[in-house]
Structure 1
């Protein structure tokens, strides 16, 4: 097996297997060859806090490269999280943890969602961010959503 094949296999094995559901997508740019560019909406259920669901919209590149899974998707996304049932933070919940991620290029780029816990306000803060900065000045694209656990 070549070094490239070994590296690719290692990356694919290391990808997290979170509860994900594709809600739907809309085509944004027509491509003659391959699938169209699109915006996809996926639901992720927090693996550590039952009753919390996050909805992530993200751009997916189409064309031949996108259809083959080798295109790098742009770092454009939005995040909305909410109670989808009774939610309470476990006592052992870490103050900062990556809860799920989506590959946005074949090897190096991933869109991740981290969960931060504001214990003083009993609020979960979900931060979507890209592992590879493509913006001038080096600031990664990001978005946040909060879920209050008050009254649960």
Structure 2
């Protein structure tokens, strides 16, 4: 199980906790993030218009990608596709569908103001589990920023 806890009031800095061990913090930027799992560095980039996420290894090679995070989306990694479905409104919970099990894992946003995100995806490698968690956080950040811009424009 992987947990991301927000450590700053602005909601951009998170601490990763994996099986009780605290991993290095990561910062969500507008369309990117960098994190470390098992002493290996990874970076994530969210494409501006297509909203696809890509996971890059330390050498810059693409290791995995996601479709646009929404009601239904897929993780593409190592020649396999993993399907995710939104199971709670509005984007508070996603369920990963397995081959034999319709609920092979979950991602949940909870806590006050979504301050904690939990990923329990036992079928995925640790770096892919962290990538999916970061992709959900980047999508949430993008929606919050867009809502703020729309609110400012309509306010006058």
Structure possessing the higher radius of gyration over alpha carbons: 1
Relative to the length of structure 2, the TM-score reads 0.27
Relative to the length of structure 1, the TM-score reads 0.27
- Name the structure with the higher helix share: 2
